[in-house]
Amino acid sequence: MKIAFFGLEKWEKEYIQNHAGFKKLGAETLFFDEALDRDHIPKDTSANAISIFINSQVDKAVLDAFPNLKLITTRSTGFDHIDFKACKKRAILAANVPSYGEDTVAEYTFGLILSVTRRICQGYDRIRETGSFSKEGLRGIDLKGKTLGVIGTGRIGRNVIQIAKGFEMRIIASDTNPDKQFAAQMGFEYLPQTDVFAQSDILTLHVPYNKHTHYLVNANNIAKIKRGAYFINTSRGGIVETAALVGALKTGHLAGAALDVLEEESAIGDELELLLEEHADEHDLKAMLANHVLMEMPNVIITPHNAFNTWGALKRILDTTIENIGEFQKGNLINLVS
């Protein structure tokens, strides 16, 4: 079996090479520093399995370049960067890491909530940039007694709810498959999404990105969010229509936003290169422009898709990836997605 890994850090490569489970595979291994997409296909495309992260884009053109490919294992829970229609035609299987960062991302979510509601970043920047200890414009809100709306109560959403209980917040949630037993245990209420929008002082998103959640928050419903609410997104950028979010922040309908993900985030900072490449028309340039407007807003915090990024979570990702490959080699199919 031949395995190609894309976009690993140096320590990740060493971790894999020294991993007892990986050594047992006896596989021929290729390591590539870059992410994988149609513009970055390596010369050696003979791998039977590839391991990628979310910054790779595996579409038909990429799949066609790998004639022996049988397995894609993504080092992430989300898998919207893989073209499953093209995979199905080639009988290529795909596996993910379903559980590695439910605590990690939930903790980060509350870091963002505290940062945006207590103006922590603004206070830090003021002292750092100007040396001023003025508190003007830095007054925040208490979380105790406020209503937290959680859209999506999977592993991460559940952990967000548990943390919120420690802050003595009122919690309401929306989910296509509500867990009523968990709601009774934790003392929160499931409501229709429109009601969660209308009642939440802080609204946080924890749903996967797919055709059903694309622009879940959009120009038609963003005004239904409670006026003066704070908006948090650590899920995927495409769940939110960026221009609509900009508008709601500009008018003051939303008090602020903290975002770890953005639409077209992979293209931010490379706009000139993007405009020159032949696939530029596949990117949403309006969303990219809206992202730059968000970056300049004083009531918006943006971080670089960093919620998952702890040593523990990354090691759990690699452990599961190795397990996915090992079980596939033995003929056992685990953590498959489609």
- Examine the domain organization and report whether 141 and 77 are in the same domain: no
Residue 337, domain member (yes or no): no
- Examine the domain organization and report whether 86 and 172 are in the same domain: no
- Examine the domain organization and report whether 153 and 169 are in the same domain: yes
Residue 338, domain member (yes or no): no
Structure-token pair, residue 244: 């609509």
- Examine the domain organization and report whether 11 and 111 are in the same domain: no
Residue 110, domain member (yes or no): yes
pTM: 0.90
- Examine the domain organization and report whether 295 and 316 are in the same domain: no
Residue 288's pLDDT band (boundaries 50, 70, 90)? confident
Residue 202, domain member (yes or no): yes
- Examine the domain organization and report whether 227 and 296 are in the same domain: yes
Residue 145, domain member (yes or no): yes
- How many structural domains comprise the chain? 2
Per residue in 178-231, pLDDT (tens digit) is 999 999 999 999 999 999 999 999 999 999 999 999 999 999 999 999 999 999
Q: What is the pLDDT of residue 259?
A: 98
Q: What is the pLDDT of residue 265?
A: 85
- Examine the domain organization and report whether 86 and 166 are in the same domain: no
CATH code of 284's domain: 3.40.50.720
Question: Which residues are annotated as catalytic?
Answer: 236, 265, 305
Per residue in 162-171, pLDDT (tens digit) is 999 999 999 9
CA distance 319 to 312: 11
- Examine the domain organization and report whether 115 and 231 are in the same domain: yes
- Examine the domain organization and report whether 122 and 62 are in the same domain: no
Q: What is the pLDDT of residue 286?
A: 85
* Nearest to 204, CA basis, from 97, 114, 293: 114
- Examine the domain organization and report whether 200 and 247 are in the same domain: yes
Domain that holds residue 89: 2-100+311-329
- Examine the domain organization and report whether 96 and 110 are in the same domain: no
- Examine the domain organization and report whether 90 and 129 are in the same domain: no
Q: What is the pLDDT of residue 104?
A: 97
Residue 290, domain member (yes or no): yes
